[in-house]
Amino acid sequence: MPTRVLLVDDSPFILDELARILKDAGGFEIAGRAAHGVAALELFSARRPDLVSLDVQMPVMNGLQTLRHVMTRVPVPVVMVSALTAEDSPLTFESLRLGAVDFVEKPGGDRPGSLSEQRQLIVERFRRAAAVEQRRIRFCALRRPPLHGSRRERSQPACLIAASAGRAGLSPVLRFLNGFPYGLGAAMIFAFDLRGGAIESLAKYLEKFSALKLVAPEGSVKVEAGSVYLVSSLSPSLLIEDRGEIWLQRFPPPARSSRERFVEMLFTSCAELFRERTIGVLFSGASAGAAYGVEKIASRKGKVLCQSPESALEPAVLQRVLDRGLADRTADPEALFDSAVTSVLQVA
């Protein structure tokens, strides 16, 4: 059966181009076309599409408002297709929080790459989104956490949380950070499957949802309790010890390097310095290298926590870790931070 797609964009040219791309790719059927959110919701109820392609900037009702309505009705996979949803855009992070499963920029424009490459990327993203099970799609409602002064404990951490997530893991990471309390003496290092230039934007976005301090280091930075350090899993970073202090150090990617090795190396350096006081946490879309990295954590008596594959948009690495018996605890995102807090209190 073809995937039935509802196309939503206020540009007739983009609607025509998307319809042409999907028709040429095969395996898709256009369930309807709408120029704004109100019309899209009417078609959504009448046509019951399998997938929605959604623009951000539209008259009458914009894409984020429309996305909220879709997620509170009968959620289906939504791909944001917009010139505004670049990898480093806050609108991209907000759309993923609200339940979108992926994003891609509109065909054409000034972006690098040929039109054929852009079309191929759109088809790949649509097919991947269509494969996501409806029960895995979640709207992430958050409360603003209490802030604590400058949010700097100014001390060496008693324990370390080393975590890995992909774009599909943004929603569970948000819930994790939103619920994690301040003042436990832990530091966190999150390796995200994003380009380095997007990490700073992500840190700014996450800052408002966490009581902890968010840091996107440009070079070497001292690791302190009460802080969360965001790094790209696409470039190497390591923890090192220098005269009794712990530093997070970034390196330029070596020639012929394997990206999968970067997170494994990072997790290994965390385990070597913090040993049984290391807590590995894996979220949806975790790097393949994280599966080997948590093995190093477990071998040094650290704990390994894992988002349940049933709650993840991209569960492959999570399932691999469970199949290898490496996880001390697996839980849905709402309960995962409780397990992490308990683990921190046990080892700090």
pLDDT surpassing 70 at residue 252: yes
The dihedral built from the CA positions of residue 307, 168, 176 and 161, taken in this order, carries a sign that is positive
Q: What percent of the chain has pLDDT over 70?
A: 93
pLDDT of residue 214: 93
pLDDT of residue 148: 56
Point out which residues pair with 102 in neighbouring strands.
Answer: 79
Res. 255: pLDDT tops 80:
no
**What is the pTM (predicted TM-score) of this model?**
0.85
Q: How many CB atoms lie within 10 A of CB 201?
A: 18
Average pLDDT over residues 123-135: 89
pLDDT at 88: 65
Ranked by mean pLDDT, which of 24-33, 111-120, 142-151 comes out on top?
A: 24-33
Give the model's confidence band at 194: pLDDT under 50 very low, under 70 low, under 90 confident, else very high: confident
Q: Which CATH superfamily is domain 159-347 in?
A: Methylesterase CheB, C-terminal domain (3.40.50.180)
d(CA 105, CA 188): 31
d(CA 248, CA 241): 9
Residue 267 contacts by C-beta under 8 Å, 6 or more apart in sequence? 162, 164, 280, 289, 290, 292, 293, 294, 296, 297
User: Residue 193: which pLDDT band, with cuts at 50, 70 and 90?
Assistant: confident
Asked if residue 109 lies in contact with residue 83, where contact means CB atoms within 8 angstroms, the answer is yes
In three-state secondary structure terms, 144 is coil
Q: What are phi and psi of 181, to 5 degrees?
A: -80, 160
Residues 23-48 as b or e (16 or more Cβ within 10 Å = b): eeeeebebbbbbbbbbbbbebbeeee
Domain 3-136 and domain 159-347 have a common topology: yes
Is the model's pLDDT at 25 over the cut of 60?
Answer: yes
Q: Is residue 43 over pLDDT 80? A: yes
Domain coordinates in residue numbering, the chain: 3-136, 159-347
| Rounded Cα distance, 166 and 173, in Å | 10
Tokens of 249: 């150090």
Interval 98-110: pLDDT, tens: 999 988 888 875 5
Q: Residues 3-136: name the CATH superfamily.
A: Response regulator (3.40.50.2300)
What's the average model confidence in pLDDT over 127-141? 84
Inform me whether the pLDDT recorded for 78 exceeds 80: yes
Q: What is the mean pLDDT of the chain?
A: 89
The predicted structure's pLDDT at residue 143: 75
User: Helix-strand-coil percent breakdown of the chain, rounded to 5?
Assistant: 40, 20, 35
